[in-house]
Amino acid sequence: MVFFYCNTGGIKSIPTSLLAERDEILSLFKRCDVDNNRKLSWEEVKAGFRALQSRFPAFRTQRAFKVADKNGDGFISEAELDELVDYVLDCYQGNVALRLIK
């Protein structure tokens, strides 16, 4: 999860544009769950990166699984989805809306 800390020790509010991008990414990957089992397979995550116009969707998928698949079962569950979204935000830093294919 992404947090922004102030010098005063408090947490700054997250910009609304970042929250909107988080919601878009979350929605994108939930739409990629074509078999509706509430888990994302390798191919479903790869399809999400294709929708984000990744130049190397297989590489991004491999990295995403290393970051997000905490239990190592080969799927990204709903509990692990936040880690996937954080990884995508780190990769595309503010350019998610421009990459989404409508």
Out of 69-73, 90-94, 95-99, least confident range: 95-99
Assigned token pair, 45 = 């995550």
Coil, strand, or helix at residue 4? coil
pLDDT (tens digit, 9 = 90+) per residue, 71-89? Answer: 999 999 999 999 999 998 8
pLDDT higher than threshold 90 for residue 46: yes
Give the Å distances, CA to CA, from 49 to 6, 11, 35, 64, 75.
32, 31, 18, 10, 15
Q: What is the mean pLDDT of residues 51-59?
A: 91
In this model, does residue 24 exceed pLDDT 90? Answer: no
What is the average per-residue pLDDT within 13-34?
Answer: 80
pLDDT score for 93: 75
CB-based contact 77:38 (threshold 8 Å): yes
More confident residue, 10 or 76: 76
> Domains in the chain, start-ordered, CATH in brackets?
16-99 (1.10.238.10)
